[in-house]
Structure 1
Amino acid sequence: MRVDLLTREYPPEVYGGAGVHAAELTRALRRHADVRVRCFGQDRSEPGTSAYDTPHDLEDANAALRFLGAGLRIAADCAGSDLVHSHTWYTNMAGDLAARLHGIPHVMTMHSLEPLRPWKAEQLGGGYALSSWMERTPALSADALIAVSAAMRADILTAYPEVSPDRIHVIHNGIDTDVYRPDHGTQALEELGIDPDRPIVLFVGRVTRQKGLPHLLRAAFQLRPHAQLVLCCGQPDTPEIAAEVAGLVDGLGKVRQGVHRIDAMVEPALLRQLLTHATAFVCPSMYEPMGIVNLEAMACGTAVVATAVGGIPEVVEHGRTGLLVPYEQRPDGTGEPADPEQLALELAMAVNLLLDDPDLAEKYGLAGRERAVQDFSWDLAARRTLEVYRGRSAAV
């Protein structure tokens, strides 16, 4: 069975959970099927992988239009495939066009939903309307939809009520627990000026409204003074949120020591050490359909403090592998808290509980590692994905 898997992100150009998902799922699927990856960006050396640049004559066009242009070439190159599997709005339309053009099934994995990310209008301008169309149109016609959590499945049915529930399959993300494992080395920490003997509160994520970093930074003013705050930040979505985060970090640095900001995607070897030495990993997301980063923390034996949004409660067990912080959202669909000060206080209280009780943090971390190993694996995700394929294609 030949499957053409379409994704914007693919190693080495990965900046978020969807890229990790595409890479790990491909690796697991290739044990069972002929998987051809079609991604965006620079040429890849990996066999069976083709990369596509956006069209040169659209260089000055809106980003969403550029991705649509590249998707036309991807759709043409899917000739000969038995099934096409697209990930995120960047390639969903390419999958839709390929299915129609070549008469093959189209499976979509929904990692997030454009209607639930209205802050992207700040980032894409009119391109947000286009990206929403590039997701909605394929979602209504795809042969099957894969939701990365039960919460995502519920969101799909709310956002796209025309979709038949029996076309939506829940398959959780996995985690490679051989790559993400406890690593008690300290070399990477010392190179970054992080004291391995002081407690660490860790954040890893993009600087975007979705990830909620400003709320953690406001909470950090109330954290125990002996704790270090380590921020591994991806590229900001917009100048506005970049300025907001920079201002909060600067203000925080004036009132407490041990604030470290790393502006780069962190390699797994470094991330393992950071996670292993962290007393708490904090995920303050406003919108998180699944959250692979929480699984990475748990696999490294780290307690997690997270907002109780989206699929996070399906990963982080409150009172067993970490602490969940519920909050009331504003009624505008942004996911932002109705009371930001209260959310900051609740985050600080949860983190301080672990800082004050290292034994409890260790207990949560051990349980998190056990849960990651037992309940989440890419092999399981691949087997369930193949079941979806077989239900939609005559080629096995």
Structure 2
Amino acid sequence: MTKVLLFTPKYPPSRGGAATFYSNITEEQYDNTTFIVVTSLHNSRGLIEQKNGITVYSLLPRIERLHRYIRVPLEILVLILVSSYLILSKKIDLIHSHSSSFSVVGLSIVSVLFRTPIVNDCRDETFRPWIVKLGLTPLWFSCASNIDDILIQNGVPKDNIKRLPVVNPDYVKEYRSTNTPDELTDLIYIGTLRKPKGIFLLADAIKILHQQGMDIDLTVVGDGPDRSKFENKCQNNGIEDCVTLTGSLNHNDTLRRLTESDALVLPSESEGVPRVVLEAQDVGTPAVATAVGGIPDVIDHEKTGMLTEQTPESIAENVLRLIHDDELYRMIVESGVESADERSWERVGGQLREGYDRANKK
């Protein structure tokens, strides 16, 4: 039995792609693997909880009001103390770390002190290469080819990178609908409201569509630091009456909104493999997304989605193509669903098990 300390800053009831992905990994109950989860404090979760054989330690402070030069060292110190205790008391064999946080430095220190291998899991382009090379690191998990490239460019041997794909939970299929709308009018954006996500490009694209006589509504699911700026942008563009901001929603409500929409638009500046694109394919909602990061790995242009340049004009043009070409829309829905059905947690489990075995042997 392999005992794995799984660290992720976000775990349910926190929302988002990482929380969903890692909770599904632990809930799959892989043979010969026991997970102990370390994550951030959450108001609706106890400090230590056990359910279905999984123990969750919610001990990492996330005091955003503290200056980062105080907050980050505090998080690192707490993670060092907690992980040291768990390695000694629970006989941890392996550390599996979501690499997006500075706190990973603490795990790397503990990895060296106790000679416990650490596998850094790189899920998007925000990870810091120098951090994921610290510690006793025999293997790296990557979710997409662009992540592979970043690791290789920073000296990680290609043979030491293991693909751990993004896969939807099985219940996503319950929201599937492959009906073609009589008229494409309802767009949706799902994600954090901040500039790198392309939200201001999206507001300009909606303005262009309205100028061309299209009766388009936009639902925005999510929250973030640039929400007020985005609202001002919509007002300045004269589109505030057709834009609905829901704030953050739970996963089920988000999926329902996604299914009810005619197309997803994701105009990000950079991405790993965004879960929302995979979910859109799974439920039968075509995605229009910028050709950045790992998105081209999961969208075949004009087959399983539409790839766009990072300009309002290109975004609007690709939406217009879906509006005016029913056959293209129908083909993208069908091919996207087929692509989604090819992904499985069985494959994730196989890759995960192989990665753990390799890491423990080195």
Q: TM-score under structure 1 normalisation?
A: 0.79
* Distance in 1 of aligned mates of 2:84 and 2:228: 42
Matched with 2:10 is 9
Tell me the distance in 2 between the aligned counterparts of 1:227 and 1:358: 17
1:41-90 per-residue CA deviation (whole Å, 9 max, x = no partner) reads: 1344343111114299x973423233223322232133110111100242
- What pairs with 1:152-231 in structure 2 (closer than 5 Å)? 152-158=147-153, 160-161=154-155, 163-182=156-175, 199-223=185-209, 225-231=214-220
Write the distance in 2 (CA, Å) between the matches of 1:66 and 1:233: 28
Q: 1:205 corresponds to which letter in structure 2?
A: G
Letter aligned with residue 370 of structure 1: E
Compared with structure 1, are the counterparts of its residues 274 and 362 closer, same or farther at alpha carbon in structure 2 (3 Å cutoff)? farther
* Unmatched segments (≥5 aa) in structure 1: 116-131, 185-195, 328-342
- Pick from 326, 338, 345 the counterpart of residue 378 of structure 1: 345
Matched, 1:251 2:218: no
The answer to whether residue 334 in structure 2 is matched with residue 326 in structure 1 is no
Alignment of 1:78-97 (within 5 A): 78-79=86-87, 80-90=91-101, 91-97=103-109
Over 3 Å counting, the alpha-carbon distance change for 1:55 and 1:358 in structure 2 is: closer
**2:357 aligned partner:** 390
8 Å contact kept, 2:188–2:263: yes
Is 1:345 the equivalent of 2:313?
yes
| 1:221 alignment partner, SS class | helix
The one-letter code matched in structure 1 to 2:77 is G
Deviations 1:135-183 (A, max 9, x none): 623424422111111111002222x23x222222222111124334435
Closer/same/farther in 2, CA of residues 319 and 49 from structure 1, 3 Å limit: same
Q: Which runs of structure 2 are paired with 1:73-152 in the superposition (5 Å)?
A: 73-79=81-87, 80-90=91-101, 91-114=103-126, 132=128, 136-141=130-135, 142-152=137-147
Distance 1:18 1:352 in 2: 32
> Which residue identity lines up with residue 27 of structure 2 in the other structure?
R
Q: Distance in 2 between matches of 1:105 and 1:269?
A: 36
> Which residue does 1:118 correspond to in 2?
none
| Contact preservation (8 Å) 1:85, 1:95 | no
Contact 2:264 2:280 (C-alpha < 8 Å) held by counterparts: yes
Q: CA deviation at 1:97?
A: 2.3
Q: Which amino acid aligns with 1:294?
A: V
- 8 Å Cα contact 1:139-1:145 kept in structure 2: no
1:194-251 deviation digits (Å, cap 9, x = unpaired): xx98721110000123311111111110125322111112222xxxx33431211223
8 Å contact kept, 2:162–2:351:
no
Cα drift, residue 255 of structure 1 = 4.5
In 2, Cα distance between equivalents of 1:217 and 1:55: 32
**8 A Cα contact 1:321 1:367, kept in partner:** yes
| Partner Cα separation in structure 2 for residue 28 and residue 67 of structure 1 | 29
Residue equivalent to 1:36: 36
Q: 1:291: how far off?
A: 0.8
2:148 maps to amino acid: R
The size of the alignment, in residue pairs, is 341
* Identical pairs, percent: 21
Q: Which amino acid aligns with 2:20?
A: V
Contact 2:262 2:286 in 1 (8 A): yes
Residue type of the partner of 1:148?
C
Q: Which residue does the alignment assign to 1:192?
A: none
* CA-to-aligned-CA distance 1:246-277 (integer Å, 9 cap, x gap): 2112234x34743211112x223322222222
**Consecutive unaligned residues in structure 2, runs of 5 or more:** none
Aligned counterparts of 2:176 and 2:62: Cα–Cα separation in 1 = 43
Give the letter for the 1:67 counterpart: E
Question: What residue number does 1:261 align with?
Answer: 245
Look up the equivalent residue of 2:72 and give its one-letter code. A
Spell out the pairing of 1:267-286 with structure 2 (5 A cutoff): 267-286=250-269
Deviation, 1:279, is: 1.7
Match of 1:49 in 2: 56
Alpha-carbon spacing, 1:215–1:32, altered in 2? closer, same or farther (3 Å): farther
Q: Measure, in 2, the Cα distance between the counterparts of 1:17 and 1:345.
A: 29
* Aligned-pair CA distance for 1:286: 0.6
